[in-house]
Structure 1
Amino acid sequence: MYLADRTAPGGTEGVPGDGPAVRSRAVAPAVLALGTVSLITDVSSEMVSAVLPLYLVAGLGLSPLGFGALDGLYNGVSALVQLAGGHLADRVRNHKLIAGIGYGLSALCKPLLLLAHTLGPVSVVLALERTGKGLRTAPRDALISLSTPPELQGRAFGVHRAMDTTGALLGPLAAFLILGAAVDGYDAVFGVSGCVAVLGVVVLVLFVPSGGGRPGTGTGTGRTRSGSGSGAGAGSNAPAADTSATSPDAAAERAAVSLREALSLLRLPRLRALAVCAALLGLTTVSDAFLYLLLQDRTGIGERWFPLLPLGTAAVFLLLAVPAGVLADRIGRRAVFLSGHALLLVGYGLLLWAPDQPALPFVVLALHGMFYAATDGVLPAAVGAAVPARLRGTGLAVVGTGQALARFGCSLAFGGAWTWWGPGPALAAAAAGLCCCAAVAGFVLRPTGPDGAPAPARRS
């Protein structure tokens, strides 16, 4: 089913050139609207993220271990809330509502940073901001998945991530300009960030539809309308739609999702495999903030230029997010996902052993952007194809929570290793762990079907 658009000339529906087939290949309006919301919100978030490591380490005097603990908290809170947010969105059958609450909470926290100038209040505000991110992530991705046919979800998530990354590109640039122009640079960044975040919430409320554009897509339903084949007109489709509206399956789709039903997702072999691999690889993925601090430590980049480092990652991610998603749809998500981690491993190796050259920061940041392009949208696309439509938010949250908790542990461990051993040995340990975990992930996600097809592309 997943490769139907490659085996039939006309796509998944209709004959070549008819309306449904053409529309099935277009990016859904819901995806574009959510991409706009993410673009605006990421401008706000990345303005803060670009200056936060330097603000905490140089401004508040945190040690690498203290920063690792705070960075882990920053991601760990989001992970725990993400699971609740995904299940709650499925349970109330309103993904937009839960996503909106998350976006609103994150927007509220940005100006609160203006009042927090010590470690305790800053930690509380960051935890609340991550709570908002955790609430919105799974419902937002569920809306994208439910709006898109399974065979095109790599493309849809790639488009969304490209728009999201446009915000990630503009945010650090805005922070850089504000720091250079404002007297009290950090407070100015936090204030402007709050205003931009409010705009994102307004766009969500006004332009994002409440439900997915194609409810019931994905392997969880596993069915297409029998009347949508070649030569079927609008009149022949209407009775089928009326019948399905009163069927037991349709009634089950509208019923509230119970906790027991959500827990039953863990019995899905492909979802378990994806969750295990995401967590394993997350355990050895050094956070963005630490990577930028490592670059500064290795190359001596000045504090004034530090906020621009995320631009390199974001620019490459923006250019490659859609091509990587399309490639994953065509050749299999397993291959693209694992290749992204291989590129990250190369970046670690360059930071450890490459000679000091002016091009080193650019090459490392380019590899970092390639890693995100090959993994950030590909993983939820694989999860969406492995989970029933009515449990899509919960399934995405299960995998996302495992990955985020693993990265929480990585931040703590890496911060401690940097403090006790130094940056070089700490990164070498992370690189060795990533190599081992990638090998395990390649085995767990190995093809299992009789045709030998890559599992995430055709089975997930």
Structure 2
Amino acid sequence: MVTDVSSEMVTAVLPLYLVVGLGVSPLAFGLLDGVYQGVTALVRLVGAHTADRTRRRKPVAGVGYALSAACKLGLLAVTTPWGIGVVLAADRTGKGLRTAPRDALISLSAGPEAQGRAFGVHRTLDTAGALFGPLAAFAVLWAARDGYEAVFQVSFCCAAFGVLLLALYVREPAAQSPHVDPARRPGAVLTLRTLARTRGVPRLGLAAALLGAATIGDAFLYLVLQRQLALDARWFPLLPVGTAAAFLLLALPIGRLADRVGRIRVLLAGHGALLAAYLLLLLTNVVSPLPLAIALFVLLGAFYAATDGVLAAAAAPLLPPALRASGLALVQTGQAAARFAAAALFGLVWTLTGPTTALTAAVTALTMAVCASLWLLRPGKKG
């Protein structure tokens, strides 16, 4: 929760800082947003494999959290878009290192029947941070003369506090941390081969990648909304708050629902909510501004509540405990890499043809991805 306050403070102001403050094009912003969302794919498997092989998931996660904290200070030292891109890549490297070990710690601390609830609790706390982060960024921008620099400074303090909490209070599940001779632990190639042969994992990984390739980052959606409503730039950091509030209210109930009715069903329904959000933004000339914004926030919140933790909860029971972090990373990496490509492509289409055409293309792509995933993940499908 504390770390997400830090991250969302930066995320809330970054689109405006780059597009309005530094004047970058939608294409350049799409590439930077892709870096922010997708560079984790380069290191996620490394962090997960290291965590599984050493059976020390907490230290690996800790390195990732510490690296991301340091990058908040790095944002104070760069002023060019590509310099910021380098810092964001380092920040996402930290996220890539920590995500799978952290999810493995959560999964190994809960029984198979409670995976959705466990990840729902985590996402609820995570989203509480996502709710407070933009509010903090808004308050700092409103009060500080050099607003962006102040946001980055406060963000660093929150991130450092998060690292301290991890060091003091997080524990490895004792039953899952036996001493094993490192020479007998599977190498990277054997790990990937084992996961590729694990029933259900290849299909779920492929479906996650297809859905990720049709997912637009929130920043683009907020930029579209801000332009369509002619919203004052000072209010822009508050846009993620609406999504975070909806996510916060829905994460735990939808996690529990996924345990009861099926995680795959909930996962696909969540992407249906995202598709509705895309369609809604194409109707900005028909729907009044306030109902439009509220509906968008609810749909995005429902999307994250039904996908963010539910994907991990769906994958975790399929994976052997010794390879839990690596398996989660494999599924999440495919999705992260696909989202990198989606962000860059969406920015390119926006630059060449405008946001309406880009959104229309996104609607088509997501519809096809959901249909393909329904076929891949249908009951009885082998592999």
1:304 equivalent to 2:234? Answer: yes
| 2:173 corresponds to | 212
Where in structure 2 are the equivalents of 1:65-214 lying within 5 Å?
65-209=27-171, 211-212=172-173
CA contact (8 A) 1:282 1:403 kept: yes
Question: Among 388, 392, 402, which residue is 2:324 paired with?
Answer: 392
Question: Among 203, 218, 223, which residue is 1:273 paired with?
Answer: 203
Question: Among 305, 313, 320, which residue is 2:250 paired with?
Answer: 320
TM-aligned CA deviation for residue 261 of structure 1 = 2.4
CA contact (8 A) 2:199 2:318 kept: no
1:64 equivalent to 2:26? Answer: yes
In the alignment, the residues of structure 1 paired with residue 97 and residue 7 of structure 2 have an alpha-carbon distance, to the nearest angstrom, of 15
State the 4+ residue runs in structure 1 displaced beyond 6 angstroms: none
| 1:327 to 1:213, Cα distance in 2 relative to 1, 3 A | farther
CA contact (8 A) 2:53 2:182 kept: no
Secondary structure of the corresponding residue to residue 110 of structure 2: coil
TM-aligned CA deviation for residue 291 of structure 1 = 1.0
- The aligned amino acid for 1:384 is A
Comparing 193-202 with 72-81, which one deviates more in the overlay? 72-81
What TM-score do the two structures reach when normalised by structure 1? 0.80
Where in structure 2 are the equivalents of 1:329-408 lying within 5 Å?
329-354=259-284, 355-357=286-288, 358-408=290-340
Cα deviations by residue, 1:62-101 (Å, 9 ceiling, x for unpaired): 0000100111122222121111111111111110010000
| 1:436 corresponds to | 368
CA contact (8 A) 1:278 1:403 kept: yes
In the alignment, the residues of structure 1 paired with residue 140 and residue 347 of structure 2 have an alpha-carbon distance, to the nearest angstrom, of 29
Question: Among 236, 241, 262, which residue is 2:191 paired with?
Answer: 262
Cα deviations by residue, 1:373-428 (Å, 9 ceiling, x for unpaired): 00101000111111100000100110111000000000010000000110001001
Among the aligned pairs, what percent are the same residue?
55
| 2:217 corresponds to | 287
| 2:8 corresponds to | 46
| 1:93 to 1:255, Cα distance in 2 relative to 1, 3 A | farther
| 1:13 corresponds to | none
CA contact (8 A) 1:149 1:214 kept: no
| 1:415 corresponds to | 347
Cα deviations by residue, 1:235-283 (Å, 9 ceiling, x for unpaired): xxxxxxxxxx8xxxx9689943311321121122311011001000000
Count of residue correspondences: 380
What TM-score do the two structures reach when normalised by structure 2? 0.96
| 1:7 corresponds to | none
Structure 2, unaligned runs of 5 or more: none
Larger-gyration structure (1/2): 1
- The aligned amino acid for 2:43 is V
CA contact (8 A) 2:41 2:333 kept: yes
TM-aligned CA deviation for residue 353 of structure 1 = 2.4
Secondary structure of the corresponding residue to residue 282 of structure 2: helix
CA contact (8 A) 2:319 2:327 kept: yes
TM-aligned CA deviation for residue 168 of structure 1 = 0.2
- The aligned amino acid for 2:187 is S
CA contact (8 A) 1:93 1:256 kept: no
Secondary structure of the corresponding residue to residue 378 of structure 2: coil
CA contact (8 A) 1:85 1:136 kept: yes
TM-aligned CA deviation for residue 297 of structure 1 = 1.8
- The aligned amino acid for 1:215 is Q
- The aligned amino acid for 1:103 is Y
In the alignment, the residues of structure 2 paired with residue 168 and residue 55 of structure 1 have an alpha-carbon distance, to the nearest angstrom, of 19
In the alignment, the residues of structure 2 paired with residue 96 and residue 161 of structure 1 have an alpha-carbon distance, to the nearest angstrom, of 19
CA contact (8 A) 1:317 1:373 kept: yes
TM-aligned CA deviation for residue 299 of structure 1 = 1.6
TM-aligned CA deviation for residue 145 of structure 1 = 0.6
In the alignment, the residues of structure 1 paired with residue 133 and residue 32 of structure 2 have an alpha-carbon distance, to the nearest angstrom, of 22
Comparing 119-128 with 363-372, which one deviates more in the overlay? 119-128
- The aligned amino acid for 1:88 is T
In the alignment, the residues of structure 2 paired with residue 251 and residue 192 of structure 1 have an alpha-carbon distance, to the nearest angstrom, of 42
| 2:379 corresponds to | 447
CA contact (8 A) 1:106 1:133 kept: yes
TM-aligned CA deviation for residue 356 of structure 1 = 3.7
- The aligned amino acid for 2:190 is E
The CA RMSD measured in Å over matched residues stands at 1.8
CA contact (8 A) 1:299 1:356 kept: no
| 1:422 to 1:144, Cα distance in 2 relative to 1, 3 A | same
